[in-house]
């Protein structure tokens, strides 16, 4: 199919990033014309985590300027857009309302279509924007709000193969950092401390290891770490480094086992010469995790696809692109434009005990 180029404004405000982007697409692929992200990390750092009320207020104070900047960088005005796409879920409700209402209002005022986008769909389709990746492929989404393995077979065709039954992986990193007195966000602090630590000094559990299911669990690991740290009483820098290294080692081993099973399952069910594993979410910045996944893919003869970090973490280019994919697939009217704090990508997946309890996003 040959499609005239379409140009979308994307808006993302589901958690603590205020973002807008302009993406042009046709049936052969997409191009990012601008991608503006304002991270609210400083606003939340003092609280050791995202404060929903503060996040919503910060979106209100900045979103209009971020949208203007995205349009200016793309050298576009509203009238040149084909459609407006915004994240309408899942995420923090106050934050979602800001982006949803802004997007709907721009669409109404300019008489353009509004395309509601599931934030997770944005992550799921990013590798098609950056690498032109064909369907189907496996996605490992590891962020502050989600830990999932998803089979991506087409636009709107997602099957959740695994999820966490308690904490998300990024959340486990953040809680570990908080417990050890390291700064927020915890992932980079734990990774940095782990560099000089001994990964074998403390033996931490690998929950669900060896079980047939593909799901994850990280709260037992967190509790074991708390118990070990408490037993040490005063923590030296060496203790902290060793605890971080041992934690990270337990995490990489868990991912190795779980994702390894998923790759084997994909192989059994799909006859594809070079299948791909895509990684997305903030935790994908972790080098030890990246190395583990790279080796795992080599062993299973999978292509390892990691979009550039700024497109792995929350951004609006992925939302604009998901909107473009929906237009191209004729699925732009599939969802209503109501903000939804909970919105599983795979509506048929059975809810897991405790999963997504934060109501937050990826």
In the complex, the residues that contact Zn ion under the rule CB under 5 A are 143, 314, 362
126 binds ligand KG4 (CB under 6 A): no
Q: What is the DSSP string of 264-307?
A: HHHHHH---SS-EEEEESGGGG-HHHHHHHHHHHHHHT-EEE--
Q: Nearest approach, Cβ of 284 to ligand KG4 (angstroms)?
A: 8
The binder of ligand KG4 chosen from 145, 197, 323, 341 (CB under 6 A):
145
Which residues ranging from 226 to 285 are in contact with ligand KG4 (CB under 6 A)? 281-283, 285
Q: Does 314 bind ligand KG4 (CB under 6 A)?
A: yes
Sign (positive/negative) of CA torsion 196, 173, 306, 35?
A: negative
- Judged by CB under 6 A, the chain residues 38 through 57 that form the site for ligand KG4 are none
Beta bridge partners of 147: 142
Decide if residue 10 touches ligand KG4 (CB under 6 A).
Answer: no
Nearer to Zn ion, 207 or 281 (CB): 281
Q: Which residues contact 136 (CB under 8 A, 6 or more apart)?
A: 151, 152, 153, 154, 270, 272
Which of 94, 99, 186, 307 is close enough to bind ligand KG4 by CB under 6 A?
186
Question: In the complex with Zn ion, which residue's Cβ is closer, 37 or 362?
Answer: 362
What are the residues whose beta carbons fall under 8 Å from the beta carbon of 51, sequence distance 6 or more?
Answer: 43, 44
For residue 108, count CB atoms less than 10 angstroms from its CB and return exposed for 0-12, middle for 13-18, buried for 19 or more. exposed
Other CB atoms within a 10 A radius of the CB of residue 53 amount to: 10
Residue 105 C-beta: closest distance to ligand KG4, Å: 25
**Stretch of residues binding ligand KG4 (CB under 6 A), selected from 58-66, 165-173, 212-220, 234-242:** 165-173
Residues at the site binding ligand KG4, with contacts judged by CB under 6 A: 15, 143-145, 170-171, 173-174, 185-188, 191, 281-283, 285-286, 313-314, 362
């Amino acid at each position: 199919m040959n499609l005239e180029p379409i140009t979308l404004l994307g808006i993302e405000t589901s958690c603590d990033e205020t973002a807008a982007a302009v993406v042009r697409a046709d049936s052969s692929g997409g191009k990012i014309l601008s991608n503006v992200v304002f991270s609210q990390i400083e606003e939340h750092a003092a609280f050791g985590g995202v404060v929903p009320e503060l996040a919503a207020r910060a979106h209100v104070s900045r979103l209009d300027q971020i949208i203007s900047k995205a349009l200016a960088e793309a050298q576009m005005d509203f009238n040149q857009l084909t459609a407006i796409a915004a994240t309408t879920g899942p995420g923090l409700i106050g934050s979602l309302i800001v982006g949803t209402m802004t997007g709907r209002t721009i669409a109404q005022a300019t008489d353009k279509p509004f395309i509601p986008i599931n934030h997770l769909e944005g992550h799921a389709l990013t590798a098609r924007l950056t690498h032109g990746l064909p369907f189907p492929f496996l996605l490992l989404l590891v962020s502050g709000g989600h830990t999932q393995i998803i089979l991506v077979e087409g636009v709107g065709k997602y099957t959740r193969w695994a999820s966490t039954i308690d904490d998300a992986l990024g959340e486990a990193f953040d809680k570990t950092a908080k417990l050890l007195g390291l700064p927020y966000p915890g992932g980079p602090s734990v990774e940095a401390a782990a560099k000089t630590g001994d990964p074998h000094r403390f033996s931490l559990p690998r929950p669900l290891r060896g079980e047939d299911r593909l799901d994850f669990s990280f709260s037992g690991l967190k509790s074991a770490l708390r118990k070990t740290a408490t037993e040490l009483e005063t923590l030296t820098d060496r203790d902290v480094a060793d605890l971080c290294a041992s934690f990270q080692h337990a995490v990489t081993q868990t991912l190795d086992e779980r994702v390894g099973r998923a790759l084997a399952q994909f192989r059994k069910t799909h006859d594809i010469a070079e299948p791909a594993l895509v990684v997305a979410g903030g935790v994908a910045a972790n080098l030890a995790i990246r190395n583990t996944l790279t080796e795992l893919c080599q062993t299973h003869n999978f292509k390892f696809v990691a979009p550039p970090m700024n497109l792995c973490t929350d951004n609006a280019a992925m939302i604009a692109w998901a909107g473009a994919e929906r237009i191209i697939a004729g699925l732009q009217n599939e969802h209503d434009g109501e903000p939804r704090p909970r919105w599983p990508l795979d509506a048929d997946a059975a809810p897991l005990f405790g999963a997504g309890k934060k109501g937050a996003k990826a």
